[in-house]
Amino acid sequence: MTTGPQSKGSGPARAGVLDLLHLGAALGADLLRGKNSDPAATGRRWADEVMQRDGAADVDIDVPGLPLELVGNREHSDEVLSTPPDADGYHAGQTKIAAMRFLAPGALTIANGAEWRRLRPFNERVLGTGSPHPFALTFLIGIRAAFAGAVSSEADVRAAMGRAMVKIVLGDVNPALDPAGDVTTLFGVVQKPVKRALLGALYQRRRERLYALLRRKWESAAERPHEETLIALASREAEDVDRETLLQQIPHWMFTFTGSGTDLLVRTLCLITSRPGTHARVQAEISAAGSLDRVDSVARLRFLEACILETGRLFPPVTRTFHQHAGGDAANQHEVVHYFPLLQRDDRLGPTVHHFRPERWLEPTLDEAAAASNLFLRGPRACPGMDLILFVCKIALARQIGELGVDARQERLTHDPLPVSFPKINARFRRNAGQP
C-alpha cells in the first residue's frame, strides 16, 4: 500500500457520503473473508485511495454530524502532539470529552490549560513517569502473585491483570466488591456512545459504588502512612487540587490494566511464542536475568521490552484518539483523528514496516517505523503510566513464558508481513512439555 504525499499544501482530501458508502461496502466485503478478515487494512486502503485521488496528506470527512479530519502523515501528527493542550494548541476532541465525562469529567486525558498543567505533574509523580517506581518491589510481588498460574486464554490474562491492578492501585479489597469488573463495565459504556446515551443512567449506581470505594481507600491511607499503593501515594501527593478531581484520575489508571494493558500483554505473548527464534531469545534473556523476584532482574529484560514495544507498534491496543484546535468556532471545526494503524503502517516508513522486528528498539537510533509509533503517544501527551505498564507486562510475560512455559502460538502471526488488524485468537494457550 502507498499513501498520499507528505506535503499539506493542497489541503486535505474531501470524503463525502459516497466515499463513506464505499468504505462501508469494502468493510462488508472484508468481513466475508472470515478468519482472513483485516478491517484495519481495508480502512487504510480507503484512506490511501481518497488521499491519492485528491493529492492530499489528510482526509476531511465532510458529512453532516460527522466533522472529522483524519491525520494521514507524520508531519501533521507531530504538530498535533508536540504542544500541550493550551489556548493556542490542540485540546481533547469533543468526542473524547463527551465519553470521559460519563465516568471522570476531571480526568487528565480531557483536561486543558491550567487544569492540565496542575494534573499532569500529579499523575507523573504518582505513576513514576521516567524512573523506577518507588514501590516497584511491592508491585513486583503483587504482579507475580496475580500471574502465579499458567494462563490459557485472553480471559485468564484479563482476570490476572485485574488482580494485579487491585493490589497496585488499591491494595487489599474485599473480592465481592470487584472493582476490576466495575471499571471494565463502566469503560465499556464510555467507549460506546449509543449505549451511553440510551442506557448510561442505568450504570450510575455502579459508578457511585466505585467512587465510594476510592474515597474509603483514600481516607484510610492517612491511617497507614507506609502503605505502598497508588491511591495511598496519590493522597500524599495531593497539593492544590481538590480530592474529587484527583479521584477522577484513578479509574483511567485502573482500566489501563484490564483494557489496553491486557490487550498489549496478550498480543505480545502470542507474537513472541509464534516466532521460534524470538521465543528462544526471550527465554534465554529471562534465564540470564537473575531472580525474577528482584526489580533489577526485570530491568535487564531489554529484549522482552523491545518485543512489547514492537507489538504495540504493529497492533496498537488503542487505535485512535481525538483532538480539536483550540481556536475558532468549535461548533464548525473538524475533530482531528489519529488513526494509528494508518500512521504506523505507512509503507514509506521502510521495507520492514509490516514485520515483527523487536531489534529496531535496541538500536542506537530508532528507525522510521519505531519513531512513528504512537503506542504511548509522544511529547506533552505521552502516557504518564508508560513505565509502569511496561514494568507490569515484563513481569507477567517473564512469569508466563520463562517460568510457566506458556505457549500462545497463532498461525497468522508466524511469518511476515503481518496483517494490520490483530487476528482473532483461534486456540487456547498451551504449556510446553517439561515445565513444572
Query: Does position 245 have pLDDT exceeding 70, yes or no?
Result: yes
Q: How is the chain split among helix, strand and coil, in percent rounded to 5?
A: 60, 10, 35
Q: Which residues contact 244 (CB under 8 A, 6 or more apart)?
A: 106
Q: Closest Cα partner for 169 from 251, 245, 102, 264? A: 251
Provide the pLDDT confidence category of residue 330 given band limits of 50, 70 and 90. Answer: low
Q: What is the pLDDT of residue 8?
A: 43
Task: Domain 117-316+377-431: give its CATH architecture.
Answer: Orthogonal Bundle (1.10)
Strand-pair category, 335-339 with 66-71: parallel
Q: What is the pLDDT of residue 207?
A: 97
Which strand (E) or helix (H) includes residue 59?
A: strand 58-63
Higher-confidence position of 278 and 80: 278
Q: How many CA atoms lie within 13 A of 185 on its CB side?
A: 15
| Three cell numbers written together for 278 | 524470538
Q: What is the pLDDT of residue 329?
A: 56
Orientation of helix 136-146 relative to helix 386-397, angle to 10°? 40
Provide the pLDDT confidence category of residue 276 given band limits of 50, 70 and 90. Answer: very high
pTM above 0.85, yes or no: yes
Q: Closest Cα partner for 164 from 180, 184, 186? A: 180
Q: What is the pLDDT of residue 325?
A: 84
| Three cell numbers written together for 383 | 502516557
Provide the pLDDT confidence category of residue 223 given band limits of 50, 70 and 90. Answer: confident
Q: What is the pLDDT of residue 222?
A: 79
The number of beta carbons lying within 10 Å of the beta carbon of residue 17 is 12
| Three cell numbers written together for 44 | 487504510
Provide the pLDDT confidence category of residue 435 given band limits of 50, 70 and 90. Answer: low
Query: Does position 331 have pLDDT exceeding 90, yes or no?
Result: no
* Predicted confidence (pLDDT) per residue in 37-70, tens digit: 999 999 999 999 999 999 999 999 987 777 889 9
Query: Does position 332 have pLDDT exceeding 90, yes or no?
Result: no
Average pLDDT of the residues in 407-430: 96
Provide the pLDDT confidence category of residue 2 given band limits of 50, 70 and 90. Answer: very low
Query: Does position 6 have pLDDT exceeding 50, yes or no?
Result: no
| Three cell numbers written together for 295 | 526489580
Average pLDDT of the residues in 11-24: 92
Give me the helices (H) in 55-85, please.
74-81
Which strand (E) or helix (H) includes residue 90?
A: strand 90-92
Percent of residues, the chain, with pLDDT higher than 90:
80
Taking the C-alpha atoms of residue 113 and residue 123, their distance in angstroms, rounded to an integer, is 16
Mean pLDDT across the chain, nearest whole number? 92
Q: What is the pLDDT of residue 9?
A: 45
DSSP structure string for 155-203:
HHHHHHHHHHHIIIII-S--GGG-HHHHHHHHHHHHT-HHHHHHHGGGG
Q: Closest Cα partner for 152 from 407, 367, 346? A: 407
Which of 66-75, 111-120, 236-245, 389-398 is predicted most confidently? Answer: 389-398
Query: Does position 294 have pLDDT exceeding 90, yes or no?
Result: yes
Taking the C-alpha atoms of residue 44 and residue 2, their distance in angstroms, rounded to an integer, is 9
Query: Does position 379 have pLDDT exceeding 90, yes or no?
Result: no
Average pLDDT of the residues in 150-161: 98
Which strand (E) or helix (H) includes residue 306?
A: helix 302-314
327: left (phi over 0), alpha (psi -120 to 50) or beta: beta
Query: Does position 5 have pLDDT exceeding 60, yes or no?
Result: no
Provide the pLDDT confidence category of residue 434 given band limits of 50, 70 and 90. Answer: low
Provide the pLDDT confidence category of residue 433 given band limits of 50, 70 and 90. Answer: low
Q: What is the pLDDT of residue 296?
A: 97
Query: Does position 240 have pLDDT exceeding 90, yes or no?
Result: no
Average pLDDT of the residues in 74-82: 88
Q: What is the pLDDT of residue 305?
A: 98
Residue type, 301: L
Average pLDDT of the residues in 179-194: 95
Average pLDDT of the residues in 231-237: 95
Beta strands per DSSP E along 305-418:
320-325, 335-339, 406-407
Query: Does position 112 have pLDDT exceeding 80, yes or no?
Result: yes
Q: What is the pLDDT of residue 11?
A: 79
Percent of residues, the chain, with pLDDT higher than 70:
95
Q: Edge-to-edge strands of the sheet including 320-325?
A: 13-15, 58-63, 66-71, 335-339, 320-325, 90-92
* Predicted confidence (pLDDT) per residue in 393-407, tens digit: 999 999 999 999 999
Query: Does position 23 have pLDDT exceeding 70, yes or no?
Result: yes
Identify the three-state secondary structure at position 38.
coil
Provide the pLDDT confidence category of residue 1 given band limits of 50, 70 and 90. Answer: very low
